[in-house]
């Protein structure tokens, strides 16, 4: 059986490199021996090099939270898939609803980013909301059902497990083989039921991944 995938989306947190390093070290030490779970940390770009330097000693993946669709050029502020790859990232999150909400990212942009990231040999963690279409299988594509209203920082609460199960079953009709995850207010108290009852192969975790003790419990509960 494949490992359960737990993708930690740190968003624009923590506020300092020192705090990021502390969070990384606490989590890395605690989850190192946990079998059956692959933990992937997705910090802000600026923290990635330090974390990659420390990560090879433990069974942790590292990913970016976004990338651009071109390899290089006059695109101020952007980071290319090949730059992430060169830094040592294995994964990249794409299509997060916060990017549409705050930065006007469109479906078309997301599609271009997905194609570019897959070509650069990154594993793409693609967020699909309530209304977007589920893509068909592609190698290295991981799909996340993440309704915007369920994200904790939006004042949301986790979707009902039965609703996630229904949605995941519908998504399976087009996305037949790759992992399907759930995202939205996942924490240590509900991870097990999403894994056992909703047919998902893991979770995208925002808020709960910033509290080391909470995230470590979540990882352990996922492995049980
Ligand atoms: C997210 O925004 O990707 C997310 C999963 O957030 P949270 O777990 O805080 O709902």
Catalytic site residue 96? yes
Q: Report the atom number in ligand 1 closest to the C-alpha of 152.
A: 10
Which residue is listed with tokens 């059986």? 1
Q: What is the CATH number of the domain that holds 183?
A: 3.20.20.70
Cα of 198 vs its chain's centroid, Å = 18
For residue 182, give the nearest of 156, 210, 223, 150 by alpha carbon: 150
DSSP string, 94-114: E--HHHHHHH---HHHHHHHH
With a pLDDT cut of 90, the percent of the chain lying above it is 91
pLDDT confidence bin for 58, thresholds 50/70/90: low
Q: What is the DSSP letter of 56?
A: G
* Average per-residue pLDDT for the chain: 95
Mean pLDDT of 57-65: 86
Compute, in angstroms, the gap from residue 126 CA to the centroid of ligand 1: 13
Q: Catalytic pick from 96, 130, 166, 197?
A: 96
Provide the pLDDT for residue 57.
66
**63-90 exposure pattern, b = at least 16 Cβ within 10 A, e = fewer:** bbbbbbbeeeeeeeeebbbbbbbebebb
Domain encompassing residue 51: 4-223
- pLDDT above 80: residue 102: yes
Catalytic site residue 32? no
Q: How many domains, in total, are found in the chain?
A: 1
Which residue is listed with tokens 């898939």? 81
Q: Catalytic pick from 90, 98, 105, 146?
A: 146
Tell me how far apart the alpha carbons of residues 23 and 14 are, in angstroms, rounded to a whole number. 9
pLDDT confidence bin for 1, thresholds 50/70/90: low
Q: Write the pLDDT tens digit of every residue in 157-209.
A: 999 999 999 999 999 999 999 999 999 999 999 999 999 999 999 999 999 99
- CA-nearest residue for atom 1, ligand 1, is 206
81 Cβ inside 6 Å of ligand 1: no
More confident residue, 2 or 57: 2
Cα of 67 vs its chain's centroid, Å = 13
């Amino acid at each position: 059986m494949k490992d359960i995938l737990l993708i930690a989306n740190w968003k624009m947190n923590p506020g300092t490199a020192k705090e990021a390093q502390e969070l990384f070290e606490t989590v890395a030490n605690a989850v190192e021996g946990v079998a059956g779970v692959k933990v992937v940390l997705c910090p802000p770009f600026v923290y990635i090099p330090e974390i990659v330097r420390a990560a090879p000693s433990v069974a942790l993946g590292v990913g970016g939270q976004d990338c651009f669709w071109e390899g290089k050029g006059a695109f101020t502020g952007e980071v290319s898939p090949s730059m992430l790859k060169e830094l040592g990232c294995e994964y990249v999150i794409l299509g997060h609803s916060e990017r549409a909400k705050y930065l006007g990212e469109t479906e078309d942009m997301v599609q271009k980013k997905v194609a570019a990231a897959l070509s650069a040999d990154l594993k793409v963690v693609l967020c699909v909301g309530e209304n977007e279409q589920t893509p068909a299988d592609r190698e290295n594509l991981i799909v996340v059902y993440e309704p915007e209203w369920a994200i904790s920082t939006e004042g949301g609460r986790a979707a009902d497990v039965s609703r996630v199960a229904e949605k995941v079953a519908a998504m399976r009709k087009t996305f037949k083989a790759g992992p399907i995850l759930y995202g939205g207010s996942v924490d240590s108290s509900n991870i097990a039921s999403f894994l056992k009852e909703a047919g998902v192969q893991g979770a995208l975790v925002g808020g709960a991944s910033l509290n080391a003790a909470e995230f470590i419990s979540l990882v352990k509960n996922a492995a049980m």
